[in-house]
Structure 1
Amino acid sequence: MKNKKVSITTAILLTAALTLGASTSIYASSASKVVQATSTDVKRTSAKLVAKGTKIQYTAVPTQSDGQSHDGRILTSTNAGDMLFYDQDGKAAFTLAKNLVPVSDFHDQRALVKDTTTQLYGYINTKGKLAIPCSYVEASSFSEGIAFVKKSKEDNGAFIAVSGKQVTTLERAYDSDFQFSNGLAVAYSANSGKMGYLNTGGDIIIPYKYDYARAFSEKAAVVQDSKGKYGYINPQGKVIISLQYQGAGDFSEGLAPVQNSKGLWGYINMKGKVVIPFQYASADSFSEGLAVVYNKQGKIGYINKQGKMAIVYTKYNKASGFNEGIAVVGVETKTSHTFGYMDTKGRLLTPLQYKQAYPFNEGVAIASTSDQAAVILSKS
């Protein structure tokens, strides 16, 4: 989970060379060295997941999507390379005008689209109707009710509401992904190479002084100083946990994973107190009361917030955090990978039969059965 210095560039924005956001991994774990073994196999449970409707065309998760359902809509790429939205039953949610191409997942009931005739960007609603006209040369997804847009390459841009109304005019250009949390978005200074935070009023309120900075989570953000040490700041820019760690993860459910000088991971609370000792080779943030941890042999298990093993080390060598009571688990080798889903008791809900599997959200999950098809799973 150790963070790396990342430069936020304007290429993150939606331009002709579009790369908005990054697709999520088919597993949520940030550790890459995973080897698992167990003396007992996880047994199938009577609680099953079922496929909704028929198989859908699904070549791969689009780079602008996290592979999950948002506002009841799922962004997909067909065998022919066309982008479209499915509903949660695996049917086309709507038909867009021929000149409109989907660009991103839905956020705040709005999804980005591109007009292929004008090469400009706008936003549709969940019924596929154009809610904000395609009049922007650059645009971001909505977060916390606002999105960044530019009407020309010469202007500095502005923030708009989901209605399309302009709420803030930027007096200068910023290098940011404009994804807000706690009213702040990470921004990058091309001159100094440092990172700070931009507010929704268009001002840098936490100066460019960090070598690395992450989005806020539970009113705390991971930052890194010039010495390579990590700590946490609050939305006012005050250091609330000193920059002392070799690595750090986001706060979730009141706890955050941190790495000490010996390379071991443990968990701290919001006061910086170690509440789960440094003993893991790697560790992820908590989700639904459980967190993935790794021992020195690379084995995966899940602990509860008291640091007790809730799911013993399994045979899987890939695992995600829990979403809606279900986690993605799998076995990956140099030549193959197969994935399935597990409940919070460690019981396998599906066979390891999917080439890719994405986390549950809004009651459904997408799992690829081949390079060209997938199923939408729901709880039975």
Structure 2
Amino acid sequence: MKKGICILLSSALLMGTVPVYGDMAEVEQVTHTYRAEVGTKNFYEDDVLQTLDTEIYLKDGYVMLPVRTFFTAVDENAQILWDREKQVATVWMGEYRILLDVPKNKIQVEYGNVNVSGKLEVKDGRLFVPLRNWQKILTRCNYEMDENSIVWDSEKGEAIVNVGEHVINRDEELTKTEITGEGQKPVYLVEPTEQYDFIWNAGDGYFIAENYSDENDQIIFDSTGKRLATFAPGTAHHVGYLGEDRFCVYDYEEKERPAYVVDAKGNRLFSADYDQIWPYAQGLALVREKTENGYRYGYIDTEGNLQIPMQYGSARSFSEGVAPVSMSESGIGQYGFIDTKGNVVIEPKYRSADPFREGLAHVQAISGEGFINHQGEEVVPPQYGFVSDFQNGTAFAVTKDRQIIVIDKNGEEVRKLLELPKETSYFYTPSWDLLEVEYPLGYQGIYRYYDKNGEISRETYELQSGFSEGLSAVLDKETGKYGYADEKGNMVISPTFDYAERFQDGYAVVKQIIPNENGIRTVKVGVIKNPLMR
């Protein structure tokens, strides 16, 4: 989950994420008490007996508790996957992943190791962990514990554990989207294979494959599986897709800039004498060159001809016939819009501007953020601390007094979502059209999630944030594998993958990881078809 959060934060910062302040009365801490009686099968949760089928015992001065007992007591939805052969348990508590490796005596929470007290042990077919480690594990999973949270009473032979958690006060529980069904077998364009180390779904029915062991051998193939072009080892460091059946080749001269542009069959079309090339949009590609004081931007056509001169301090790609550009030499401020001929069609007067979407463009002025139409009229006056792009006719907006609302294209309020409490941060990711609010509490913080209709559960958020072409990659916590589910939570493609990407133009890249006896993993990469698209 940390990786996902890092990506989310990066996207949010690019969109102008800001912290806001208010009170946090809607959050409270609840403490639960767990009691384990050594030499018995008695385990209590808040003085309610949870009878076990195996005894709690002492070993080397440590109270040994069965893993399943404690995890499910703290979180009834905890999922535990036990690999009997390797003696490794993978546990999911919400978004947190815990790895318990008996042979290595290793505990890992997310991707950070925990210093282990005592030794993990398998006894009578069950995994036991020394009680002292629970404080370290649960703290990493955002529960409130310290060194005094575990008390050992030697006279009574019992251990008492106090676990605090932060909870949101709600009038009613949020609906949780449940994943049901087994799904169908995947239909492959490319069966999982060791032939490639990497496959990129470039879009428009094109795929780019790499083989690292063969000096970065690069291959272009299409949606029929036909190999269109091969770049001999040592001739291409990287190949990227630009759209319009054009591919950009980066060579081996230890430079980040592109070298030349080819067609789908690998035929060289023109040299790329620029610092960077962006994908084509409406027949023009944004290009950048480095100068003594920064960068200059312009636009080329599909034959490499410079159609709009390198004269802008900053620029974005074309959308709806126009592109935002900065007339400032530094690229800061003075944003307006040009047409595909390079004519200024909207006066350059904004601090920043984004490409048009659904007939409106997001702009920022000194007074705040808002939207303009193609005539340059401020249909949503720049008055918000933050406003998202419009998607399906509505957008998120944050007012100056910390209200998060949904607005329509006339700037009218559709609904109020919440008033941001003190010391919370909000994050918006354009591709998901979802909002996340973080309360900086505990080890990681706690989160609330929103779509345009209101608050949604974490389970619903995780499903919705993965959608592409009607399907979302979901983790089956019983098998530890990924499959694809639809918006109602029905499993459509059975969980058989260790890695699953989003669909694009009817295809998604997947991976299967096969462990070997020597500890080295074999990674097979393939491409599956979207069964919803015929």
- Residue 215 of structure 1 is matched in structure 2 by 355
- Residue 142 of structure 1 is matched in structure 2 by 280
Letter in 2 for 1:41: E
1:298 aligns with 2:447: yes
- Residue 327 of structure 1 is matched in structure 2 by 472
Question: What is the CA-CA distance between 1:293 and the residue it aligns to?
Answer: 5.2
Residue pair 1:230, 1:245 contacting (<8 A) in 2 also? yes
**Identity of paired residues, percent?**
22
- Distance of 1:357 and 1:302 partners within structure 2: 24
Query: Which structure's residues are more often helix, by fraction?
Result: 2
Residue-by-residue CA offset, 1:343-380 (whole Å, 9 max, x unaligned): 12222334666555332111111234459543312134
Letter in 1 for 2:285: A
- Residue 120 of structure 2 is matched in structure 1 by none
Q: Secondary structure at the match of 1:314?
A: helix
Residue pair 1:70, 1:361 contacting (<8 A) in 2 also? yes
Residue-by-residue CA offset, 1:234-254 (whole Å, 9 max, x unaligned): 234332201122222111222
Summarize the alignment of residues 1-380 of structure 1 with structure 2, pairs less than 5 Å apart: 4=14, 41-44=178-181, 46=183, 49-56=186-193, 68-80=201-213, 81-88=216-223, 92-96=227-231, 99-100=235-236, 102-114=238-250, 121-130=259-268, 132-134=269-271, 136-140=273-277, 141-148=279-286, 159-162=299-302, 164=303, 166=305, 168-170=307-309, 172-176=310-314, 178-188=316-326, 189-191=328-330, 193-194=332-333, 196-199=335-338, 200-203=340-343, 205-206=345-346, 208-227=348-367, 229-261=368-400, 263-279=402-418, 292=434, 298-300=447-449, 307=453, 314=459, 317=462, 319-320=464-465, 322-329=467-474, 340-350=483-493, 356-370=499-513, 372-380=523-531
Q: Which moved more, 1:46-55 or 1:147-156?
A: 147-156
Letter in 2 for 1:175: G
Relative to the length of structure 1, the TM-score reads 0.68
Letter in 2 for 1:323: S
Residue pair 1:148, 1:157 contacting (<8 A) in 2 also? yes
Query: Which structure's residues are more often strand, by fraction?
Result: 2
Relative to the length of structure 2, the TM-score reads 0.51
- Distance of 1:88 and 1:328 partners within structure 2: 21
Q: Secondary structure at the match of 1:239?
A: coil
Question: What is the CA-CA distance between 1:83 and the residue it aligns to?
Answer: 4.1
- Distance of 1:144 and 1:47 partners within structure 2: 38
Instruction: Point out the structure with max Rg over C-alpha.
Output: 2
- Distance of 2:329 and 2:481 partners within structure 1: 42
Letter in 2 for 1:247: F
- Distance of 2:363 and 2:186 partners within structure 1: 40
Query: Which structure has the higher relative contact order (CA within 8 Å, separation 6+)?
Result: 1
Q: Quick one: structure 1 residues 293 and 198, their matched pair in 2 at CA, closer, same or farther if it must change by over 3 Å?
A: closer
Question: What is the CA-CA distance between 1:100 and the residue it aligns to?
Answer: 4.7
Letter in 1 for 2:301: A
Question: What is the CA-CA distance between 1:231 and the residue it aligns to?
Answer: 0.9
Letter in 1 for 2:205: G
- Distance of 1:302 and 1:150 partners within structure 2: 37
Superposed CA RMSD in Å reads: 4.5
Q: Secondary structure at the match of 1:173?
A: strand
Q: Secondary structure at the match of 1:136?
A: coil
Q: Secondary structure at the match of 2:395?
A: strand
Letter in 2 for 1:109: D
- Distance of 2:323 and 2:476 partners within structure 1: 36
Letter in 1 for 2:207: I
Residue pair 2:313, 2:332 contacting (<8 A) in 1 also? no
Q: Secondary structure at the match of 1:367?
A: strand
Residue pair 1:68, 1:359 contacting (<8 A) in 2 also? no
